[in-house]
Structure 1
Amino acid sequence: MFADRHLTRMEAIIRDVCRDFEADLIEFNGENNHVHLLVNFPPKVAVARLVNSLKGVSSRRLRQEFPDLARHYYRANKLWSGSYFAGSVGGAPLSVVKQHIEQQNRPG
């Protein structure tokens, strides 16, 4: 359901939310139905709180700015599912993680 224009705007929204949490969005990319983020955030921030804010703010703003997304969430007034995956990459080279995110099949 996401096109490149949705993902481009979503990246800007997510950067703003990260800034509010004193976090850095290192890498962003997405496919038509999900996104991948590499975020560096301080240990004082709970990952669940950050993710809930990222999903809540992006859902609200994207639904306001792109009414065409409405056909994908008409049964529930939300854009995201309640689930997410968060993994720690403290031991992996960041270049490998960034490469994985960059190689997602972003829609045109």
Structure 2
Amino acid sequence: MVEDADVRKGRHAVWDLHVHLVFVTKYRRRVFAAEHLEALQEVMSSVCADFGCELEEFNGEDNHVHLLVGFPATVELSKLVNSLKGVSSRKLRQQYKDHLQQFLWGGHLWSRSYYAGTTGGAGIETVRRYIEQQNRPNPA
């Protein structure tokens, strides 16, 4: 078997998990400039590390951000998302209070919703065919 650098191993699991996350600002307000995105990337990278995850890619526009996160099988994705949004909101509101107050109110930076799409090397149809082609034993 060829070793894959992306495949990680734990005591009871082997995994290669990645998720594409998209977070949108509350009311899609155009809040971010380049310096805000740089601060967000730093905070979100730190949160990911705290969860044993890796922020592999990060970018965004003035009203949303995209993250590509590699994560272990032991991480609950909803808890990671809640922490990413909560910590980043708190830190950004502390660091850029005057700037954010003109766009947002009620202490909310992010919309409650988010997008999460799992990603991987093989497409869904490839995986589906692989599973279909397994050699199921004949009934006894």
Sort the TM-score into its range (normalised by shorter chain). 0.7 to 0.9
CA distance in 2, matches of 1:77, 1:52: 15
5 Å matches for 1:1-108? 1-67=31-97, 68-74=99-105, 76-91=106-121
When normalised by structure 1's length, the TM-score is 0.81
CA distance in 1, matches of 2:59, 2:52: 21
Which sections of structure 1, spanning at least 5 residues, go unmatched? 94-108
Aligned-residue sequence identity (percent) comes to: 53
User: SS in structure 2 opposite 1:73?
Assistant: coil
TM-score for the superposition, normalised by structure 2: 0.63
- One-letter amino acid of the counterpart of residue 91, structure 1: G
1:50-106 deviation digits (Å, cap 9, x = unpaired): 0000000000000000011112211x211001000000112359xxxxxxxxxxxxx
Structure 2 segments unaligned to the other structure (5+ residues)? 1-30, 124-140
Aligned counterparts of 1:88 and 1:49: Cα–Cα separation in 2 = 16
SS in 1 for 2:68: strand
Aligned positions, number:
92
- Distance (Å, rounded) in 1 between the aligned partners of 2:122 and 2:67: 15
Structure showing the higher helix proportion among its residues:
1
Letter in 2 for 1:46: E
Consecutive aligned runs of 4 or more in structure 1 exceeding 4 Å deviation: none
Match of 1:106 in 2: none
**Over the residues paired in the alignment, what is the CA RMSD in angstroms?**
1.3
Question: How many angstroms apart in 2 are the aligned matches of 1:3 and 1:92?
Answer: 35
1:92–1:33 distance in 2 versus 1, CA, 3 Å: farther
2:8 aligned partner? none
Equivalents in 1 of 2:67, 2:80: separation in Å? 12
